[in-house]
Structure 1
Amino acid sequence: MEQRIGSSSQPLEGAGFDPAFIPGLTSPVSGEAEEARADEAVEDDEPAAEAVVSEETEAAGEPADGPVFEASDRRARIVADHQGVRLFLDDQACEFRWDEIGAVETESPRFGKRFTITVHTPDRRWYPIEIEATSRSLFTEWDEQLDKVLDTYFEDETPGSEKEESKEAN
């Protein structure tokens, strides 16, 4: 008969013992391996995002003659052009065609250098992204560039908007 020396109980897991515990997710690997992967991802992120944008433009076969808005910092990036709006944050990305967008909202803080752009969809969801500017003077430049893109490509027409406009004209 075999006998084990020491405790036979397993370590407890769960939110009561680890505030970051989420059932179903695996725990992170050692810190060194995680840092190495993060460094590799940082090196690969920017070229990969640029490659995605250029591939999409080429694949669409559409001319990109109109205005384009691009802003980025070390983590976040936004591109608005004839195809729609694309948001990138670290290794995540999402794309909205112009017909999928209900509104685009910008917000510049009273203090600080984080410019917030929020894409609203018709189904009442919103997707904000914050871009850190090198100086606050970029906020007005970014607003103007984004307004040009929105004026060119974004059609803010809903089925009831024509009726409301005709009522106001009377």
Structure 2
Amino acid sequence: MEQSNGPIQQPLRAASADPGFIPGLTGAASPFKDAVPRSAVRDAPEETVKDAEPEAQPEAEAEVEAEVEADAEVDAETDAEDVARPAPGDGPSFEAADRRGRIVADAEGVRLSYDEEACEFRWDELAAVESEKGRFGKRFTVTVHTPDRRWYPIEIIAPDRGHIAGWEAELDAVLDAYFDEAS
């Protein structure tokens, strides 16, 4: 029998091995939780089948209606904010793209896409937007920072180094026009 001379190491319990390790992360709810098995429906008389169907819960319906009303109020507030903002074609806009990525910044906000992935940010959702040109070569990086300390970088390869200076000037004009640093 072999004995270990080193310290006893417990197995590592982390999010990579156990998704349940992440606090607040719960499994997906089963859509079949209240379903009646087919065998029970097939073998049971009709009166029993009617009794076995789950009944609608009035409390859950009331909660759903309250959420719908709250969403309608938020949509109404958003519509009022949209009226105050200029139309997308009125002010400055910025767009840079290569074969894989695309950056668009205009009156609506900032949109990033890379291959099949895409994300969109309204101006009020942003904490900072920074741009950086590569020291050598033709790489232009834009990083979007959100208030919850997340950042989303995207790198675009310019056709030539001269495009990067133009892109920086265009992006600065858009940020000056729409981005409110006080928020």
- The match for 1:14 is none
TM-score (structure 2 length as normaliser): 0.52
> Aligned partner of 1:128: which letter?
P
Shift of 1:139: 1.1
Out of 159, 163, 170, the position equivalent to 1:145 is 170
The residue type paired with residue 124 of structure 1 is R
State percent identity of aligned pairs.
Answer: 61
Secondary structure (helix, strand or coil) at the match of 2:95 reads strand
Counterpart check, 1:97 vs 2:107 = no
SS of 1:141 mapped into structure 2:
helix
Distance 1:83 1:110 in 2: 31
Deviation at residue 68 of structure 1 after TM alignment: 0.6
Residue pairs, 1:13-24, within 5 angstroms: none
- Give the equivalent residue in structure 2 for 1:154: 179
The residue type equivalent to 1:131 in the other structure is I
1:79 is aligned to 104
Tell me the distance in 2 between the aligned counterparts of 1:122 and 1:149: 20
Superposed CA RMSD:
1.9
CA distance in 2, matches of 1:107, 1:120: 14
Is 1:109 paired with 2:98? no
Q: TM-score, normalised by structure 1?
A: 0.56
Look up the equivalent residue of 1:142 and give its one-letter code.
Answer: W
Alignment deviations for residues 76-117 of structure 1 (CA, whole Å, 9 cap, x no partner)? 001000000000100111000000000001110110111000
1:115-157 CA deviation, whole Å, 9 max, x = no partner? Answer: 0000000111000000000111111100000000000000000
Match of 1:15 in 2: none
**Rg larger for:** 2
**Residue 68 (1) aligns with residue 93 (2):** yes
1:137 aligned counterpart, secondary structure: helix
Distance in 2 (CA, whole Å) between partners of 1:110 and 1:154 is: 27
Q: Distance in 1 between matches of 2:130 and 2:176?
A: 13
Q: Supply the distance in 1 between the matched residues of 2:115 and 2:122 (Cα, whole angstroms).
A: 21
The runs of 5 or more residues in structure 2 that have no matched partner are 1-16, 19-81
Aligned length: 101
